[in-house]
Chain A
Amino acid sequence: MRRIVLWAMSTITVLVLLFSYSTSRSSTAVVAAEGRQVTTTSKTSESSGSSSGSSSASSGDSSGQEPAADAGTADDTSDTGAASGTTGSTGSSGSSGSSGSSGSGSSSGSGSTTVEGDAVMTRFGNVQVKITVAGGKITAAEVLQVPWEDRHDQMINSRAVPVYNEETVQAQSAAIDVVSGATVTWEGYTQSLQSAIDRANI
């Protein structure tokens, strides 16, 4: 049995090695400028233009325009004005790009405004948020709809989303023990949040 496994493994290796020599440039060089962009997807989009201008907030008037930010990207700066209707779902093959235009708002006195964004269809499902703006700043954020694509998303979202809401308000100041993100190189590390956490504990 052991020999069979070994034989199988070395056969695989030979194939792998053959592979590494036989295929030549052409195979991977096909890079498609067209095909690729279409799939840039979904949940990105409106991270920049997250909330309507501060003027509307202070006047207690809700001029809609809510950003329909997704669960991952509300922005607490709130000074960027009119989120354009081009949401992330536009390009992603097939999913309808319902743009965030007509948010419904309700004023709650004392200069703070609560605005519900439109639900936006993303590749991962519908996303809708409600934010409260006071004095030009987001003071509360609530996710009304998040993608429940499957059991897994549901479980992790139900855990992560409420925490996220709180942190939108706390402007990232919450204590984090460790950061997970796309792979960091040593060069990029020195400016990272993780390196600050590390330095504090060395």
Chain B
Amino acid sequence: MNGPVAGQPDNPPALPRRAWVEQVMGMPVSIHLRGAGVDTPAAARAVEQAFEIVRDMDSVFSTYRDDSDLVRLRRGQVQLEQCSPLVEESLRIGQQAEALTKGAFTTLLPTGEGDLAFDPTGLVKGWAVDRASTPLRQLRGVSFCINAGGDLLVGAHEDLPVSGPQAIQWRVGIEDPRDRQRIASTLTLARGAVATSGTAARGAHLYDPMRGEPVGRAGSVTVTGPTLLWADIWATALFVGSQATREAFATSATDYLSTAL
């Protein structure tokens, strides 16, 4: 069993590296860059643009800010057409996700007063990170990792290979849901998203739409694949979902892999 270890990083240790961290959407968002050009002004600008995209998404979708498009829409202060076009798109994605996951993912969530309201929070984070990656992909010779509160996206300029000695690989530790200081598993990737859903970090914050109640079970589900939007949606759905959801995942999300801890 001590055979080839997939996770062994082949990168030269001297590869320059930098990290930036900001609090956005109430959580830590860190951007790591690796490669020759990480200390250039262009890199700093791209990182700033990436954070700006996430902040913009927050100003549209925050459920905590009175002036967000979402809150004003819910209160009837604006019509859908007056909102950012992202809101309409989030409705569409939410419906698509609900259908694909056989109802295990929903954008109709309890408000805290016992009501249900349109709340795309569960998809906004992954989507924001996917969008924020655009400026980072323009940096020649640079590989990046955006980690938004435990869900992350790895990518690179197209001139960097996906495999081989020249590829910049990221070694991702999957947290042990029962002891958050421990790593239960690792995987290595040069491109792609990793999303983990579970109850470990914040107690029961995942909602089971079929039962209409928070999920109480322990453990976590990790999904990897091309986009963080869908990796995150599926991680949530597989954590709360039933056999039907798992079958839907196997047949429809063919670019994505899951594992449960």
A95 at the interface (CB under 8 A from B): no
| Distance (whole angstroms) from the CB of A152 to the closest CB of chain B | 5
**A152 and B114: CB pair below 8 A?**
no
Expressed in whole angstroms, the Cα–Cα distance for A197 and B257 within the complex equals: 26
Expressed in whole angstroms, the Cα–Cα distance for A113 and B10 within the complex equals: 34
A153: contacting residue among B114, B220, B259, CB under 8 A: B259
**B1 and A17: CB pair below 8 A?**
no
**B9 and A175: CB pair below 8 A?**
yes
Within 8 Å CB of A181, what residues of B?
Answer: 150, 174-175, 177, 180, 196, 198, 200-201, 220
**B118 and A185: CB pair below 8 A?**
no
- CB closest residue in chain A, given B32: A201
**A183 and B202: CB pair below 8 A?**
yes
**B145 and A178: CB pair below 8 A?**
yes
The bracket for how many chain B residues form the interface is: 35 or more
Asked if A44 meets B249 with Cβ closer than 8 Å, knowing A32-B213, A180-B174, the reply is: no
A166 at the interface (CB under 8 A from B): yes
B114: contacting residue among A19, A29, A177, CB under 8 A: A29
**B27 and A189: CB pair below 8 A?**
yes
**B115 and A21: CB pair below 8 A?**
yes
A177: contacting residue among B3, B73, B172, B261, CB under 8 A: B172
Expressed in whole angstroms, the Cα–Cα distance for A21 and B75 within the complex equals: 10
A110 at the interface (CB under 8 A from B): no
Mostly, the B contact residues are: strand
A residues sitting closer than 8 Å to B (CB atoms) are 6, 9-10, 12-13, 16-17, 19-21, 23-32, 35-37, 39-44, 47, 71-73, 124, 142-143, 149-153, 155-157, 159-167, 172, 174-186, 188-189, 192-195, 197-198, 200-202
Total inter-chain residue pairs, C-beta < 8 Å: 270
Asked if A172 meets B182 with Cβ closer than 8 Å, knowing A20-B115, A152-B257, the reply is: yes
Nearest 7 interchain pairs by C-beta: A181-B175, A25-B114, A20-B117, A72-B261, A201-B19, A176-B173, A182-B201
Expressed in whole angstroms, the Cα–Cα distance for A197 and B91 within the complex equals: 36
B110: contacting residue among A28, A73, A163, A183, CB under 8 A: A28
Mostly, the A contact residues are: helix
Q: List 8 A-B contacts (CB under 8 A).
A: A28-B114, A43-B261, A151-B250, A162-B3, A163-B7, A181-B150, A188-B202, A198-B30
**B79 and A10: CB pair below 8 A?**
yes
Within 8 Å CB of A71, what residues of B?
Answer: 185, 261
Expressed in whole angstroms, the Cα–Cα distance for A162 and B116 within the complex equals: 44
Within 8 Å CB of A151, what residues of B?
Answer: 250
B residues sitting closer than 8 Å to A (CB atoms) are 1-7, 9, 17-21, 23, 26-28, 30, 32, 73-74, 76, 79-81, 88, 91-92, 95, 108, 110-111, 113-118, 145, 147, 149-152, 154, 170-188, 194-202, 205, 211-214, 216-220, 222, 224, 246, 249-250, 256-261
**B5 and A44: CB pair below 8 A?**
no
Expressed in whole angstroms, the Cα–Cα distance for A184 and B175 within the complex equals: 11
Within 8 Å CB of A43, what residues of B?
Answer: 219, 260-261
**B200 and A180: CB pair below 8 A?**
no
A24: contacting residue among B7, B114, B200, B219, CB under 8 A: B114
Asked if A185 meets B186 with Cβ closer than 8 Å, knowing A9-B88, A28-B116, the reply is: no
Within 8 Å CB of B113, what residues of A?
Answer: 25
**A166 and B118: CB pair below 8 A?**
no
Asked if A182 meets B220 with Cβ closer than 8 Å, knowing A32-B211, A176-B173, the reply is: yes
| Distance (whole angstroms) from the CB of B228 to the closest CB of chain A | 11
